[in-house]
Copies of this chain bind each other. A is one copy, B any other.
Amino acid sequence: MGGEEIGRWVRKHRAILDAATAVFLRHGYLGTSMDEIAARARVSKQTVYTHFADKERLFTEIVAATVDEASDPVHAEVRQLQDSGDLEADLRDLARRQLRLVMQPRLLALRRLVIAEATRFPELGRTFYERGAGRTVAALAETFAGLAARHLLDVDDPLLAATHFNWLVMSAPVNQAMLLGRDDPDPAELDRFAEGGVRAFLAAYGRRPVPVSRTRSSRGGTARRARTS
């Protein structure tokens, strides 16, 4: 293919993906036809099949691309956390950003659609899970293990701690959105959930780097210690 041909191919590919996303989100998986996608993308049905072998393949690609869009920046931020100089502030930033990304209306609608089809098309759900929560939790586990080695966290089981962080921040808003069908969360409310989740996580897994020589004099001197005595 020449440059112009490649450009045309990429434009058509993009147009089909955009059209298909809109149609799937409006009519659900079963209610969507390749005819309707072709009409909306202004290409022939044959062209749709040239780009995507079948409806399931097309939907899987949409799920992967949409989840990656939210997951990529979270993943990058989790890796940076490793070198954090202010863990509490950085965890709070991460949690706020993660929650806002996950709670985007398009991603919520897609999550609902994938759940609806999970028993019929488990591959779709697996794609959504592994590229989304699964990937974030794996990265968090690696980072938390590193932070524990730096004595900034007290973590026996990094994977469990990562799972707890992820869901302390996300689960109340996500599960409410799923069941109540509200796709327009209040950003201030999301921030409150994120901050509350981080506070609980640090109360459970936080650890202050107290040098052995200072142990006695600093004992009971922190807010957290004071709260428990």
Contact = CB atoms under 8 A, between A and B. Distances in A.
B164 A168 contact: yes
A175 interface: yes
A207 B181 contact: no
On chain A, which size bracket covers the interface?
35 or more
A183 B197 CA distance: 28
Interface in A208-229: 208, 210, 215, 219-220, 224-225, 227-229
B118 A181 contact: yes
A126 B224 CA distance: 38
B204 A154 contact: no
A171 interface: yes
Nearest to A127: B179
B116 A179 contact: no
